[in-house]
């Protein structure tokens, strides 16, 4: 088997079917489909298997998140390559064939992605670079991000992401929405870290994959990513925003960010990010008073998330293994 495509499902059978049909219409390499279901409470299994009876269905029995579900799929796979593919993607070009051909040609590539597009065909980040200590997280914080973006432009800091390009880009990490990985390398790097529930797990994993070769983003082929299709449905949050730090989803993001930085850069860098989460409170308060952009409810919910985060800090500081699921 050339390729194993792993799709995690959680109450999104319509998205999964749309994704599967797009794969069949665009891909010619030999592949198998593995659906890992995170304890959906609808009739996802019947709907999907009725249309695609030959797929391998893995039932997790609980909402295991992204890492654990994909690891279950990887362990059951038989392909030379593993493709982690979000259920909210549409393969609108021969992206899978091209990525595999390129990785077959260049054995130094351990993982790859392609251009990701929004539903309106505008560009999403195609690849990303590590910033020391994970400080690029500060670019996602409300208000504070504007300060750091201005400073970055003034001193000429390289943008930490690749939105679009006409050439192959070699990056530090790619999105789990479309992540093609050489299976032989997984035996060296290890599986995805199962401490993570959602968010940042692919970043930490890419940090380990990068030790064994390059991570590429290929131009001129694309996949449409209906960004946050599953998590937005779960938590009724604003579409296309991963940085809603005042929501339950935002709280999970905070936890996963700190967990990733603790694992990748150590305690001091993790504490620095946590301090900026705290600094954001008076900054948001001033923005609430004078800008009119942020509501009191926004401020209150953000403070609640930061205070809840403090109870997890000892566990994260000690790098205790566990399942950091908070939503």
Sequence-separated (6 or more) residues with CB below 8 Å from residue 72: 36, 58, 60, 64
Residue 130 has pLDDT above 90, yes or no: yes
Mean pLDDT throughout 299-304?
96
* Degrees to nearest 5, angle at CA 245 with 42 and 229: 30
Mean pLDDT throughout 157-178?
89
Question: Two tokens at 302?
Answer: 């953000």
Residue 159 has pLDDT above 50, yes or no: yes
Contact 256, 197 (CB under 8 A): yes
Mean pLDDT throughout 155-166?
79
pLDDT of residue 242: 55
Per 3-state DSSP, what percentage of the chain is helix, strand, and coil (rounded to 5)?
50, 20, 35
Q: How confident is the model at residue 79 (pLDDT cuts 50, 70, 90)?
A: very high
Least confident of 26-35, 117-126, 250-259: 117-126
DSSP one-letter code for 267? H
DSSP one-letter code for 38? -
pLDDT of residue 166: 83
pLDDT of residue 230: 53
pLDDT of residue 228: 59
Least confident of 14-23, 128-137, 186-195, 256-265: 128-137
pLDDT of residue 292: 82
For residues 68 and 192, what is the distance between their CA atoms, to the nearest angstrom? 7
Least confident of 5-9, 51-55, 223-227: 223-227
SS3 43: coil
pTM check: above 0.95: no
Residue 224 has pLDDT above 80, yes or no: yes
Residue 236 has pLDDT above 60, yes or no: no
For residues 110 and 211, what is the distance between their CA atoms, to the nearest angstrom? 9
Burial 58-82 (b: 16+ CB within 10 A, else e): bebeebbbbbbbbbbbbeebebbbb
DSSP one-letter code for 188? H
Question: Of 241, 233, 258, which is closest to residue 309 (Cα–Cα)?
Answer: 258
pLDDT > 90: percent of the chain: 82
Pairing of strands 31-37, 89-90: unpaired
Helix (H) or strand (E) holding 281: helix 267-290
DSSP one-letter code for 134? G
Q: How confident is the model at residue 184 (pLDDT cuts 50, 70, 90)?
A: very high
Residue 49 has pLDDT above 70, yes or no: yes
Q: How far out from the chain centre does Cα 32 lie?
A: 22
pLDDT of residue 239: 40
For residues 141 and 139, what is the distance between their CA atoms, to the nearest angstrom? 6
Average pLDDT, the chain: 93
Least confident of 40-54, 70-84, 101-115, 127-141: 127-141
Contact 19, 42 (CB under 8 A): no
Residue 153 has pLDDT above 70, yes or no: yes
Mean pLDDT throughout 131-137?
91
For residues 74 and 95, what is the distance between their CA atoms, to the nearest angstrom? 21
Q: How many CB atoms lie within 10 A of CB 105?
A: 8
Mean pLDDT throughout 121-127?
91
Long-range CB contact pairs, 103-106, < 8 A, 24+: 103/180, 103/182, 103/216, 106/216
Question: Of 120, 312, 126, which is closest to residue 217 (Cα–Cα)?
Answer: 126
For residues 288 and 53, what is the distance between their CA atoms, to the nearest angstrom? 54
* Degrees to nearest 5, angle at CA 239 with 233 and 243: 105
Residue 235 has pLDDT above 70, yes or no: no
Residue 263 has pLDDT above 60, yes or no: yes
């Amino acid at each position: 088997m050339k390729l194993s495509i792993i799709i995690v499902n959680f109450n999104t059978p319509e998205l999964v079917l749309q994704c599967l049909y797009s794969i069949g219409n665009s891909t010619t390499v030999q592949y198998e489909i593995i659906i890992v279901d995170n304890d959906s409470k609808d009739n996802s299994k019947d709907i999907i298997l009725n249309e695609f009876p030959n797929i391998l269905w893995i039932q997790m029995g609980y909402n295991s998140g992204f890492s654990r579900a994909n690891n279950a799929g990887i362990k059951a796979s038989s392909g030379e390559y593993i493709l982690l593919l979000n259920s909210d993607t549409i393969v609108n070009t021969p992206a899978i064939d091209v990525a595999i051909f390129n990785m077959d040609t260049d054995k130094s590539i351990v993982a790859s992605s392609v251009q990701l597009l929004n539903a309106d065909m505008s560009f999403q980040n195609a690849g990303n670079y590590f910033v020391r200590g994970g400080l690029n997280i500060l670019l996602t914080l409300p208000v504070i991000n504007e300060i750091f973006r201005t400073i970055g432009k003034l001193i000429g800091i390289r943008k930490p992401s690749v939105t679009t390009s006409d050439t192959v880009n070699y990056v530090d990490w790619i999105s789990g929405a479309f992540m093609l990985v050489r299976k032989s390398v997984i035996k060296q790097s290890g599986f995805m870290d199962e401490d993570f529930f959602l968010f940042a797990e692919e970043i930490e994993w890419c940090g380990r994959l990068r030790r064994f070769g390059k991570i590429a983003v290929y131009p001129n082929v694309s996949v449409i990513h209906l960004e946050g299709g599953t998590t937005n449905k779960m938590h009724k949050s604003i579409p296309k925003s991963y940085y809603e730090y005042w929501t339950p989803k935002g709280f999970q993001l905070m936890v996963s960010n700190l967990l990733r930085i603790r694992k990748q850069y150590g305690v001091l860098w993790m504490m620095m990010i946590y301090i900026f989460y705290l600094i954001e409170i008076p900054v948001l308060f001033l923005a609430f008073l004078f800008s009119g952009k942020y509501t009191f409810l926004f401020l209150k919910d953000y403070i609640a998330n930061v205070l809840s985060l403090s109870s997890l800090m000892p566990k994260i500081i000690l790098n205790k293994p566990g399942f950091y699921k908070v939503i």
